[in-house]
Structure 1
Amino acid sequence: MQRIFSGIQPTGIPQLGNYLGAIRNWVALQQDHECIFCLVDLHAITVWQDPEALRQQTLAQTAVLLAAGIDPKAHILFNQSAVSAHARLGWIFNCVSRLGWLNRMTQFKDKAGKDRENHSAGLYIYPNLMAADILAYKATRVPVGDDQRQHLELANDIAQKFNHDYGVDFFPAIEALIPAGAARVMSLRDGTKKMSKSDPSAQSRIEMTDDADAIALKIRRAKTDPEPLPTDPADLQSRPEARNLVEIYAVLSGMTVADVLARHGGTGFGPFKAALTDVLVAAVTPIGAETRRLLDAPEHLQAVLREGAARANAIAEPIVSEVERLVGFLK
């Protein structure tokens, strides 16, 4: 059974894009993989976080994952900072990775923009820590979206260079895993931008803790265009907001875009938004209700993370200790 590692930042309230793009697929991957799921709080502080908010959001993210179907007994769920192997291997990889490699990382350029000199060094070397997250467990498969594919290629470059530099066949190759049914969900206010939990407007996203009334209001207010829904999927390409709503409906209902348009094409957005609201309420509100129940027992959530960290450490510690021996550290 292959080992999967995947992480999610515990910042903000998880939204529909996180669920359809990652969390739902994590749940499915549990069936035939050994899964290690991590709340990457070390990555989170590459930009400033309010300390108490970060603690609370880590618990909230844990609650959402459990409510969505992550099984912490059969698999491992923990917060990154609780296992020191991540930071230790991350520093070694800082010394293996090359500046030229990091300079090619487009995600840093996108996040930093023209103000790159004022961003943290941690944001710049973020991909090296991501490589350490994966390779501390010798994971061979990582579910990623397009925005992380370049980072995974860098992780393989680091693993190969380490193996070459120290004359060992220690780290395995990592396979990018694009799960079937993964979805790219866009903002409800701008169909050209990804749905994001950091967007200043809560109206741009469906949060996994939203109740039925909140979902209905956000969908009613979701940006559309004046034309009715088309019957041909090709006609959606120039209509980003319409395409986004149709694709959300399709992925949640298990239908194709063509099937959705066969049912709703030619009608206005009013009836379609009502139908989409019903689909969203059925998918999201049970997770939200269970999340709220779990958040009423924070000591249980903390116990889940502590147990997960102990099990993660049992895997990572011997691997990273051997890396430290290979590079010449006195043990």
Structure 2
Amino acid sequence: MKKTWILITILLISVLAFSACSKQNSDTKDATDVNETETKTDANNKTEADDKTEDTTVVENADDENQTADAALTIIYESEEGPIEVPADPKRIVVLNSFVSGSVMAFDTDIVGVDSWAMANPRYAPFLEEAVEVSDQGLEKIIELNPDLIIAAPTNNNIDKLKQIAPTVVYTYGKVDYLTQILEVGKLLNRGEEAQAWIDDFKARAQKAGEDVKAVIGDEATISVVESFEKQLYVFGDNWGRGTEIIYQEMKLNMPEKVKEMALEAGYYALSPEVLPEYAGDYVIFSKNASADNSFQETETYQNIPAVKNNRVFEFDAAEFYFNDPITLDYQLQAFTDYLLGSE
């Protein structure tokens, strides 16, 4: 009997020990599972956080790139009215200032509208095939063109309203010399280096042509620039288009004294046909308006001018001759060189 109780006691102790071990193993397994779960959760959370950080960085970088791209789309141009933000590469330009129209065209830009003076210039026609005529009074038409840049003159109407349509830059004729004006237009269009290269080349060509011309006509020969407009005649100084910049500034040919006295400072001088002989040089450049009254050419007064008698009057279409932009200047320089070198 005693042995039986001993066996029962041993068996009971074994069962209790086994149960305790099983519970410990279960607790250990549960703890391990919990640790593994926590580790995986932490890892997942870290991955998600890293992904969010990476996404945020990508977004921030994209924002930075967009800001840089936006900044590259515009430039700050120092206009005569102060700094103005303009497109770095304008695609739809409206030019209401005719004396800079040719400069804008010369830099191979996209013009969608010009004024009547520019539209009437045969030299500009190849550059304006897709452009239309506009005016400072026709704001609705300008709005329809959706310009990204407008170039105006201080004499234009509605400048404040134009500025509400698109960035508007104003140029005053004669505020700077003609070559600086070309450079300024180049800067506005983000083509400053191209403009300067053209200027340097033009000056070299014009000055060389002047030397060649003087070798033919002589150092003392005088030349005047005359234009007919409506019922009036005009003579010009050295900075009023019509080739005056080339003849007097670059070629350094001589201006008649009477022209110098009356037109040099003002830029131009109006006169009657009766006194034209007093202003005519040994050579005459005649900027002729076909619509003007040119009947004076049939008068004895005109026919007796030495330059007329010696066949030294060179006529040009005034519509092609008004301005002093690269397109016009290149044309004038070649024409003057051909005419003057072939005059003797």
Q: State the TM bucket, normalised to the shorter chain.
A: under 0.3
Higher strand share: 2
Higher RCO (CA < 8 A, seq sep 6+): 1
Q: TM-score, normalised by structure 1?
A: 0.27
Q: TM-score, normalised by structure 2?
A: 0.27
Structure with bigger gyration radius: 2
